[in-house]
Amino acid sequence: GREWATTAPPVYLPLWPASRQAATHFTSVVRWRGFHDVQYNGTQYGQRDREFPLFLDLPRLTGQAFRIAVLGADLDSLEAHAWDAVSGEAESLTPAQYKAFIGRSRAEFGVAKHLYVEMRTGWFSDRSVCYLASGRPVLVQDTGIETWLPVGEGIVTFSTLEEAQVGVDHINAHYERHRDAARDLAESVFSTDVVLPPLLASAMH
């Protein structure tokens, strides 16, 4: 019985300038389990802990360095699969630390919660938007975002381990182009100047 107003996650660009730091690692900032699994009409909708294990071998298969700042997961288990695993609480303790972590990243590697993948919601993370604003490409699991976002440059999607490998290679082979496209998307799609006026108008309607 509710009428939902949809919106893209906004980013205030003056606080998120493009980073020019040299960077080596694809990174992610994640919570392993954000809330309980849900069952609806016979379908189980789970969390990131159902999706991320599908991609554990990516560092070994690509030779690319990956760093994950994670809350709620076994760091030793991730490191056994060649991930540089660090405390998500430490890296995101303050806005400044969170921003610095993203600025030191070569790109984002983003795995979605199972329910977003299963429902094909078109979900796109506010975290990914901060990477884009920082001029960092994002390699993210496909949730149906191609229905409302241009993908292929700046944003590269994957559904399988093999597609994630191809995405890593594509970003690295055309890195500066992806960096420029990432910032362009932040400015044209996610800037507060773009997102907030129609959202407020819809909310006040």
Please state the pTM of the whole predicted model.
0.94
pLDDT at 42: 83
| Burial class of 105 by CB neighbour count within 10 A (0 to 12, 13 to 18, 19+) | buried
| pLDDT (0 to 100) of residue 10 | 97
Q: How far apart are CA 38 and CA 129, in angstroms?
A: 27
| Cα–Cα distance measured from residue 105 to residue 136, given in angstroms and rounded to the nearest whole number | 7
Q: Give residue 90's pLDDT.
A: 85
Least-confidence region, from 22-26, 84-88, 192-196: 84-88
**What integer pLDDT is reported at residue 6 of this predicted model?**
86
Helix (H, G, I), strand (E, B) or coil at 2: coil
The pLDDT assigned to 72 comes to 79
Averaged pLDDT of the chain: 92
Per-residue confidence (pLDDT) for residue 70, from 0 to 100: 87
pLDDT tens digits for 116-145?
888 898 999 999 999 999 999 999 999 999
- pLDDT of 89 higher than 80: yes
Matching residue, tokens 């303790």: 93
